[in-house]
Amino acid sequence: MQPFTSVTGAAAPLLRRDIDTDVIIRIERLTQLRRDQLGPYALEALRGPDFILDQPQFRGAPLLIAGANFGCGSSREGAVWALQGAGLRAVIAPSFGDIFFSNCCQNGVLPVVLQEAEVNELAVQAADGSPITVDLLRNLVIAPDGAAYSFVIDPVRRETLIEGVDELGLTIRRLPEIAKWQQNDRARRPWAIPNSRGFEVLPD
């Protein structure tokens, strides 16, 4: 998983509400294509002559500004893969579908929740392609005019994104700490820890 610390670039405004995962990537694309081939088909149901990601200032944009409840609908992880394949590293929205939010965090895409008024203001400022910064180290979104908007994210998810590992990888990194805790716990509670002969037997 690619680590996420700070990303600066164009932020494509797509403020339509309730864009579900079937709109983000059609199910037939998931059955026909490999994960690394999904990018060109991200949001294809919305594409047309004026589609925002096809505008010159937003081609290859690393950021998307979305409407409320982005990523609702089915739990397909391929929706995140498609957005990644299109070059997106973060999505800023007033709210997200719960499973989509989790899938983002597990695949290196940062979902940023801001107030709707803040999202709308960012969309206005970003409309000409002016760069926005999403800084996970400081939990801030920096607008083109310099205004800073803070956001909150679960500490464990934040750590996995910054480190570029999933939750299992984070656990594996802490195996020495886990082993030390187990050793200390065995010394404190020998009666609770099984050994090769079974549980320790307390004397009468």
**Residue 57 · residue 14 · CB < 8 Å:** no
Residue 199 resides in a domain: no
What pLDDT score does 29 carry?
95
Structural domain harbouring 104: 6-152
Return the pLDDT at 177: 81
Q: What number of CA atoms fall less than 13 Å from residue 24's CA on the CB side?
A: 29
Instruction: For residue 180, give the H/E element and its range.
Output: helix 175-188
- Give residue 87's region: left, alpha or beta (phi > 0; psi -120 to 50): left
Q: Tell me how many domains the chain contains.
A: 1
| CATH code (residue 102) | 3.20.19.10
The answer to whether residue 165 is domain-embedded is no
Residue 162 resides in a domain: no
Asked if 85 and 38 touch (Cβ cutoff 8 Å), the reply is: yes
pLDDT of the residue at 182: 81
Strand residues in the chain grouped as ranges (E): 6-9, 11-14, 63-66, 90-93, 110-113, 132-135, 140-142, 148-150, 194-195, 198-199
pLDDT at 187 (0 to 100): 84
Instruction: Provide the sign of the torsion angle of the four alpha carbons 96, 99, 101, 107, taken in this order.
Output: negative
131 by Cβ neighbours in 10 Å (0-12 / 13-18 / 19+) ranks as middle
Report if residue 114 sits inside a domain: yes
User: Using CB atoms within 10 A of its CB, is residue 32 exposed (0-12), middle (13-18) or buried (19+)?
Assistant: exposed
**Does residue 78 belong to any structural domain of this protein?**
yes
| pLDDT at site 195 | 61
**Which one, of 4, 76, 93, lies nearest residue 35 by Cα?**
76
Residue 166 maps to a domain? no
Backbone dihedral region of 86: left (phi > 0), alpha (psi from -120 to 50 degrees) or beta?
alpha
24-70 pLDDT per residue, tens: 999 999 999 999 999 999 999 998 888 999 999 999 999 999 999 99
pLDDT for the residue numbered 167: 67
The answer to whether 101 touches 93, Cβ cutoff 8 Å, is no
pLDDT along the chain (204 residues), means of 10: 94 96 95 93 91 92 97 92 96 97 95 98 96 98 97 94 79 77 83 60 50
Per DSSP, 172 falls in state H
Q: Identify the pLDDT of residue 1.
A: 84
